[in-house]
Amino acid sequence: MDKRPDPATVPAYEVPYLARVPQGDLVKLLAEQRERTLARLGALSEEQADHRYAPEKWSVRQIVGHLADTERILGFRLLSIARGEKAPLPGFEEDAYVAAAPFESWTLPQALADYAAVREATLSLLRGLAPGDWERAGTANGIPHTALLVACVIAGHELHHLHVLTERYGIA
């Protein structure tokens, strides 16, 4: 899928994510993104995975867990919308999810394996969508979304956090 949503139709809080997603085949981009993320973060030590740039901020390991959890939620939204779900889909509180998760007790390889498994499931779902599925619309977090928009948010959300890891955590 080479299309991108019209930015004028995107919820304001998702525009920064969408702006990070380059043009090109979205499925290929997500597959390549997985490989780059695994290589980049897989090179870190356990000590580096514990790093927080400020006391109240998430550790690198928690960010990896957050990426997987968020993609699970967005993947469910994507599936639901692509299949024509009419019921509104709920939002979620990311800080509460991270606080309730066991990420700090996981090794970095365990967290990265979880992330990789979630991404593989997302890729499988996207590869199986029919052309009309991408434009199907539903409601998530009280706001209209298309399946295409949700897929783009998955990519952009990860790109956002990778940027944060570079800028605030010093992880190249």
User: H/E/C letters for each residue in 36-83?
Assistant: HHHHHHHCCCHHHHCCCCCCCCCCHHHHHHHHHHHHHHHHHHHHHHHC
Q: Are 19 and 153 in contact (CB under 8 A)?
A: no
Domain ranges of the chain: 11-167
| pTM check: above 0.85 | yes
Q: What is the pLDDT of residue 1?
A: 80
CATH superfamily of 11-167: dinb family like domain (1.20.120.450)
Spell out the residues 6+ positions from residue 13 whose beta carbon is closer than 8 angstroms to its own. Answer: none
What value does the mean pLDDT of the chain take?
96
Per-residue pLDDT band at 13 (split at 50, 70, 90): confident
What average pLDDT does this structure show over 117-130?
98
Residue 83 pLDDT greater than 90, yes or no: yes
